[in-house]
A and B are shown apart, each in its own frame.
Chain A
Amino acid sequence: MRTFAKGLTGLLGFFLLWEIAVQAGVLPDYWVPPASEVATTFVTLLGQQEFLLAVIATLLAWLISLGVAIAVGVPAGLLLGSVPAVQSASRALIEFLRPIPAVALVPLVMVTIGSGPDAKITLAVYAAMWPILFNTIYAFGEIDPVLLDSARAAGANRRQSLTWVALPHAAPFIFTGVRVAASIALIAVISVEYIAASEIGLGRYILEGGMNNGHLDQVMAGTVLAGLAGWAINSALVGGGRKLFRWADTEERATR
């Protein structure tokens, strides 16, 4: 709990420094509004139904994206990780697709799918799938043969050793992938809302703030909310992972 307090102190210190820098004129106020103004806007926005609906729309899109990314990434990773031939065959394809930034696909998706919720979900799934896929491939590819041999020696058949040995072994790694994917999916959803000017969503709200004569307080309030949401989701998953996989210390180390 004391570390939490220290972390919070650091965070508050950052906002305080921001406030002082703007008030003292180190940062011109037409560059960035003072933290207090952003905080006021933040509180006002939280009271607006319209804004809350936008946030809910974003979170819903995020949740669906993450679900689909897991549903696609884990089975695909299982296949690629346990069948080496498939993995080496698809390597170039994956390595080529992965670096294409989801945002660069926005124009493409806009002309084919439009700018509705399915567009941002499609792109967020695309962006979030990679860490899940790679961690799953890794988890199943690197399983210690001794573990599988012990399972077989103990009389487990192929399916039983998959369920009772391979899956528990892989779970912490997959979970780490899901956690990273969760952050990426949120950033992707908001970014696509912003770039593609989606009908509704937090990103769209920030875009409007930026366009309407530079309402930077609205931009910053929205961005801070997005950052806090991403941070909260990540922290919750880190904590959850530690509870779930007490027997493995991968989560502790692979924190990013």
Chain B
Amino acid sequence: MSAPTVAAKRGRILGSAAVTWLVFALALSAWELIALGADTVYFPRMTAILGTGADILLSGPAWRLMLGDAVFDIVLPSLATALGAWAFSAALGVALGTALGRSRWAMDYCGTLISFLRSVPPVTLMPAFMVMFGIGKQMEIAAIVFSTLWPIVLNTVDGVRSVDQVKIDTARSLGTPRRYWLGMIVLPAAMPKIFAGLRLSLSIAILLMVVAEIVGGSGIGLRISTTQSTVQYTEMWFWVLLLGALGYALNSALLAVERLVLGWQPAREDDA
């Protein structure tokens, strides 16, 4: 594909982005109208939800760009937990996956075990995590790491194993020394699959963040369960929708990083 076609494609994507957001706005308006007609506490109007959200997030002084206390006390700590644990999993998972994938026999023995561990619902392990780490950040981090690690490991193994034979022959015939092998050939070739695993595990990290916080009583998760029990449904809706927005933003950010790192890949029809 030549450069102009790519540019043309970009233009088309920008055009369709406008339509996309227009439909999004229409959906929000539809929500407003339906809620207005339904008139129930369980399903508040969109304007009410957004108003509550603005009050919560933008109640701070001007020098903090109006950001309210909730941003610093609730949103950012939650995000830091999720992202920190996810980053730890990423480093550990890629290292482990590379080691397992490079070994001729390790996956024969560990493959089943890892598939089993991945199938364990992390939520039901919460009692064990609470006993092990007490209630607090440590427990939340442990739960997130446990549930995000396996997809990264499995995708890395897959990526490391699927290095094309012709590329291996080429690299050998060009005299690539052994110690550069991993960095110059194996990891670049595995990178697309590693990123697929990273994106999958990022969404799991947010999920487990909420679970751990509901169980452990902190951050956004706590706000969701508190507002439910105190019948503040408008605020509860706000926090749930905020999770959607955060998930969307984080996924977009990771995609941007991926485009940067995998800029060498032939243009992909990426719809996100």
Using a CB–CB cutoff of 8 Å, the interface residues on chain A facing chain B are: 3, 6-11, 13-14, 30-32, 87-93, 95-108, 110-112, 137, 141-142, 183, 186-187, 190-191, 194-195, 203, 206, 209-210, 214, 216, 219-220, 222-224, 226-231, 234-235, 253, 255-256
Q: Which 5 A-B pairs have the closest CB atoms?
A: A99-B247, A230-B119, A7-B112, A210-B127, A227-B120
Within the assembled complex, what's the spacing in Å between the Cα atoms of A256 and B150? 10
Query: Among residues 104 to 134 in chain B, which have CB atoms less than 8 Å away from a CB atom of chain A?
Result: 108-113, 115-128, 130-132
Question: In this assembly, does B236 line the interface, its C-beta being within 8 Å of a C-beta of chain A?
Answer: yes
Residues on the B chain within 8 Å of A30, using CB: 131
- Asked if A231 contacts B247 (CB within 8 A), the reply is no
Question: In this assembly, does B20 line the interface, its C-beta being within 8 Å of a C-beta of chain A?
Answer: yes
Dominant secondary structure of chain B at its interface with chain A: helix
- Asked if B127 contacts A219 (CB within 8 A), the reply is yes
Residues on the B chain within 8 Å of A10, using CB: 108-113
Shortest beta-carbon distance, A98 to chain B, in Å? 7
Given A11-B112, A226-B121, decide whether A99 and B244 contact each other with a Cβ distance below 8 A: yes
Q: Which single residue of chain A is at the shortest CB-CB distance from B246?
A: A99
Residues on the A chain within 8 Å of B112, using CB: 7-8, 10-11, 231
Question: In this assembly, does B206 line the interface, its C-beta being within 8 Å of a C-beta of chain A?
Answer: yes
Q: Which single residue of chain B is at the shortest CB-CB distance from A183?
A: B119
Given A7-B109, A91-B20, decide whether A31 and B210 contact each other with a Cβ distance below 8 A: no
Checking A13, A96, A219 against B24 with a beta-carbon cut-off of 8 angstroms, the contacting residue is A96
Residues on the B chain within 8 Å of A100, using CB: 240-241, 243-244, 247
Known contacts A101-B211, A191-B211; 17 additional CB pairs below 8 A are: A7-B112, A7-B113, A87-B271, A89-B19, A93-B23, A93-B27, A104-B239, A106-B214, A108-B237, A108-B240, A137-B271, A187-B123, A203-B123, A210-B127, A223-B124, A230-B119, A235-B115
- Asked if A31 contacts B128 (CB within 8 A), the reply is yes
Within the assembled complex, what's the spacing in Å between the Cα atoms of A30 and B130? 11
Residues on the B chain within 8 Å of A7, using CB: 108-109, 111-113
Given A95-B248, A108-B236, decide whether A9 and B109 contact each other with a Cβ distance below 8 A: yes
Question: In this assembly, does B262 line the interface, its C-beta being within 8 Å of a C-beta of chain A?
Answer: no
> What would be 11 A-B contacts, judged by CB atoms less than 8 Å apart?
A8-B112, A10-B109, A91-B271, A93-B27, A101-B207, A210-B127, A223-B120, A224-B120, A227-B119, A227-B120, A256-B151
